[in-house]
């Protein structure tokens, strides 16, 4: 039994018992009809947000401005949106105002694609207002009403069409495709963060390459701030790529546009992998590269290298990692603290230079990780530094 669906039915029943109309709508219904498991149930209802809040014990006002609230029941979430019609769209993204309605037809007619406008009641009876089932069976993505109007209202729908290709493998209907081609430039009006959310889903999709070919065919790729070369390359390969890997390939093949907004962690990772690629694409990994960058980053860089047509060095990387005499600076038998105890040197930067020297020699196998040998080498380096630089204090 689908517990998520069963509790969702309870939400609908409660809305109906209070005198409101309510239905399951959107992606969950579409995916259910396609036999795809979904974890995102949306409900549309004649109840206003205030009425929904009054009816349920635990409600979050997630999108109250646009008629949506989230009902929390057990461990599940259900977005409940009031039947509505939208006012004018002034920014190619959001309606200037929202008008509530008591008719489900008004709500469905404002939605993006026919396959997302199928409704289902609590007894799983399907209602189809736009011949959506036919499009679902024909595997067609088609806008509701005039596609140019739909895309000018909300240009995010352009990327959503491509995302559904990637997820479902459907074809885009001709007039919808032509409208995407005509209005591709409008995606520049979408926040870069929202574009990245859609690209993440496009890159993850089972039918990624088909979706990317649509982007190329409509010249949508040319509107994506330096990703075009990467998108064209990726669309011709079969390798499975996580979104961050796809972005790295795009950035290697073209100049990075700083408009992209990654987390600090991913910014560091992208730079690290790009640097590793540059160093290893036509040369071999060595112990020091593997030590400094770690196993996972080296394997990721190697995957990028392979995708771009360079030699596979995975076996070498794993051997180098297993053979490392130390995995971390704390594994050194003679450490920076020993220098402080045995010498008058206090400058942290100088101590760091010596420790880095010890580390490099141990990793590369030039010195064994032996306390006495490293001590002798380090003390010699301390004397050389003091003679060269003078002051020992930091």
Count of Cβ atoms closer than 10 Å to residue 124 Cβ? 11
Answer whether residue 95 shows pLDDT above 70: no
How deeply is 23 buried, as exposed, middle or buried, from its count of CB atoms within 10 A (0-12, 13-18, 19+)? buried
What is the rounded distance in angstroms from the CA atom of residue 337 to the CA atom of residue 25? 65
Cα–Cα distance measured from residue 82 to residue 71, given in angstroms and rounded to the nearest whole number? 13
Helix (H) or strand (E) holding 120: strand 118-120
Among 128, 101, 113, 116, smallest CA distance to 47 is for 101
Per CATH, the number for 147-240 is 1.10.110.30
Going by C-alpha positions, the residue among 56, 50, 74, 49 that lies closest to residue 17 is: 56
Alpha-carbon span 285 to 315, nearest angstrom? 11
The per-residue pLDDT for range 301-346, each reduced to its tens digit, is 999 999 999 999 999 999 999 999 999 999 999 999 999 999 888 8
The mean pLDDT value for 89-101 works out to 65
Query: Which of 51, 53, 46 lies closest to 25, judged by CA?
Result: 46
For the four alpha carbons of 238, 179, 187 and 224, in that order, the dihedral sign comes to positive
Residue 393: band (very low, low, confident or very high) from pLDDT cuts 50, 70, 90: low
Tokens of 78: 């259900």
Select the CATH number that applies to the domain covering 3-138 from these four: 3.40.50.1820, 3.30.460.10, 3.40.47.10, 3.40.50.300: 3.30.460.10
Percent of the chain at pLDDT > 70 equals 95
Q: What is the dihedral of CA 131, 135, 136, 137, to 10 degrees?
A: 100
Q: Would you list the DSSP string of 47-106?
A: S-HHHHHHH-SSEEEEEGGGTEEEEEETTEEEEEEE-EEE--BSSSSSBS-EEE-S-HHH
Q: Which residues of 68-79 are buried (b: 16+ CB within 10 A; e: fewer)?
A: bbbbebeebbbb
Residue 99 confidence class, pLDDT cut points 50, 70, 90: confident
Mean pLDDT, residues 68-89 = 86
Give residue 255's pLDDT: 80
Q: How many CA atoms lie within 13 A of 223 on its CB side?
A: 23
Q: Decide if pLDDT at 96 tops 70.
A: no
Neighbours of 105 (CB within 10 A): 11
Maximum average pLDDT range among 96-100, 153-157, 166-170, 344-348: 166-170
pLDDT digits 0-9 by tens, 254-286: 987 789 999 999 999 999 999 999 999 999 999
Mean pLDDT for 122-129 is 95
Confidence of residue 156 (pLDDT cuts 50, 70, 90): very high
CB 314 within 8 A of CB 291: no
* pTM of the predicted model as reported, rounded to 2 decimal places: 0.86
Domain ranges of the chain: 3-138, 147-240, 264-323, 333-389
Buried b (16+ CB within 10 A) or exposed e, 342-376: ebebeeeebbeebbeebbebbbeeebebeeeebbe
Q: Residue 1: beta bridge partners?
A: none
pLDDT in tens, 181-191: 999 999 999 99
Contact 152, 183 (CB under 8 A): yes
What pLDDT is attached to residue 185? 96
DSSP codes, 271-311: HHHHHHHHHHSSS---HHHHHHH-HHHHHHHHHHHHHTTPP
Asked whether the predicted pLDDT for residue 87 surpasses 60, the reply is: no
Residue 56 tokens, joined: 């349920």
Question: Cβ–Cβ contacts within 10 Å for residue 255, how many?
Answer: 8
* Angle at the Cα of 307 from the Cα atoms of 301 and 312, rounded to 5 degrees: 65
């Amino acid at each position: 039994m689908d517990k998520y669906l069963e509790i969702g039915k309870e939400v609908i029943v409660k809305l109906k018992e209070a005198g409101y109309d309510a239905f399951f709508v959107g992606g969950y219904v579409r995916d259910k009809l396609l036999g795809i498991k979904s974890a995102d149930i949306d409900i549309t209802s004649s109840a206003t947000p205030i009425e929904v809040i009054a009816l349920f014990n635990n409600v979050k006002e997630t999108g109250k401005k646009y008629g949506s609230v989230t009902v929390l029941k057990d461990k599940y979430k259900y977005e409940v949106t009031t039947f509505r019609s939208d006012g004018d769209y002034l920014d190619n993204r959001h309606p200037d105002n929202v008008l509530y309605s008591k008719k489900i037809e008004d709500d469905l007619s404002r939605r993006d694609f026919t396959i997302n406008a199928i409704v289902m009641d609590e007894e799983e009876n399907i209602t189809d207002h736009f011949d959506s089932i036919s499009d679902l069976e024909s595997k067609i993505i088609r806008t509701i009403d005039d596609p140019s109007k739909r895309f000018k209202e909300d240009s995010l729908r352009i990327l959503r069409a491509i995302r559904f290709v990637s997820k479902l493998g459907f074809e885009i209907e001709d007039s919808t495709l032509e409208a995407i081609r005509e209005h591709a430039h409008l995606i520049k009006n979408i926040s870069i963060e929202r574009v990245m959310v859609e690209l993440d889903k496009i890159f993850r999709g089972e039918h990624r390459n088909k979706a990317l070919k649509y982007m190329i065919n409509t010249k949508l790729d040319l509107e994506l701030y330096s990703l075009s070369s990467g998108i064209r390359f990726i669309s011709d390969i079969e390798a499975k790529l996580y979104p961050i890997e796809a972005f790295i390939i795009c950035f290697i093949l073209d100049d990075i546009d700083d408009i992209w907004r990654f987390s600090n962690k991913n910014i560091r990772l992208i730079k690290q992998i790009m640097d590793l690629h540059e160093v290893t694409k036509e040369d071999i990994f060595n112990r020091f590269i593997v030590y400094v960058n770690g196993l996972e980053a080296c394997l990721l860089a190697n995957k990028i290298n392979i995708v771009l047509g360079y030699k596979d060095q995975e076996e070498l990387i794993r051997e180098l990692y297993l053979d490392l005499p130390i995995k971390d600076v704390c594994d050194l038998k003679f450490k920076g603290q020993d220098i402080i105890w045995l010498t008058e040197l206090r400058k942290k930067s100088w101590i760091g230079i010596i420790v880095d020297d010890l580390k490099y020699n141990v990793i590369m196998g030039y010195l064994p990780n032996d306390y006495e040998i490293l001590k002798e080498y380090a003390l010699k380096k301390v004397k050389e530094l003091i003679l060269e630089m003078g002051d020992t204090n930091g």
